[in-house]
Structure 1
Amino acid sequence: MAFSKFLDPKNNFAFKRIFGTEKNKDILIHFLNDILGFAGKDEIEEIEFLSTIMDAEIASKKQSIVDVFCTDSAGTQLIIEMVRPESLRSYCLKGEEFLQKETKRVLKLIKPDVLPSESTHQCESGNRLVPSDADNEPPLEKEDAQS
């Protein structure tokens, strides 16, 4: 199995390392300006990273953790996340709640499915255990294998 020399930015860990660190702030600024089409006076020039742990506004709601949370030089809060396509349904159902928070821009980047939609794994159970040298010995019964 060959490993890539570079981390895949669609992986959550790699995404946070590339775009969510002070060291790579210039990469995030360039990425946001490109993907959002900002230029001239609209261009993001500076960002400040904020805590990615979002406390619930109401105690009965869940706390959430986002990939990257920052504020640009105009004071606009930006939430950037890499999400699985299946997760979009729950985000869309909660969309009204997101839209009411006027000071934030939410950018959801959709990563492709990495697993097939149908299971290709097969699991069987039985009473027989097969020793590692299965060609030379008959299979053991479960009771014999425990001794």
Structure 2
Amino acid sequence: MTQEIKINGEKVATINPVTQGKAPDFTLPDLSGSSVTLSKLTKPVLLSIFPDINTSTCSLQTKHFNLEASEHQDIDFLSISNNTADEQRNWCAAEDIDMTILSDNGDFAKAYGLLINEGPLTGRLARSVFVIKNGEIIYSEIVNEITAEPNYSKALAAIK
């Protein structure tokens, strides 16, 4: 299903994301360089996807899910952006954040249909949240307005 991506209410791109069914598998590096593979995780997974860790909304989203991760040991929280691992590490150090953040080289974005290919966000991931249980997408939110935060409570409720 095609989704519009907007900045301050103005359409800048369209994407065609995977929002239900079997979750495409992926392997991405974390901040230590270790590989994280979706299909090897045994707990429910919450994917928090954002375009740029160094922007205010992405920072708020990551901080919010970092707090939730500390309170929900029964869930694997993965934050994904296409920032470099160095950019992500520097942000985490500056914000005193300790969570699993993965750097996408474009493979994840393509597999999930989240790569923005037009406008000022070209090459970035669309802001979104997915909940995956037993390899199936049970919840997805593509945030149409790139400057808006996702619905945290709905995502967490979907896991329960």
Q: Same fold (TM over 0.5)?
A: no
Higher-Rg structure is 1
Give the structure-1-normalised TM-score: 0.31
**Which structure's relative contact order is higher, taking Cα pairs within 8 Å and 6+ residues apart?**
2
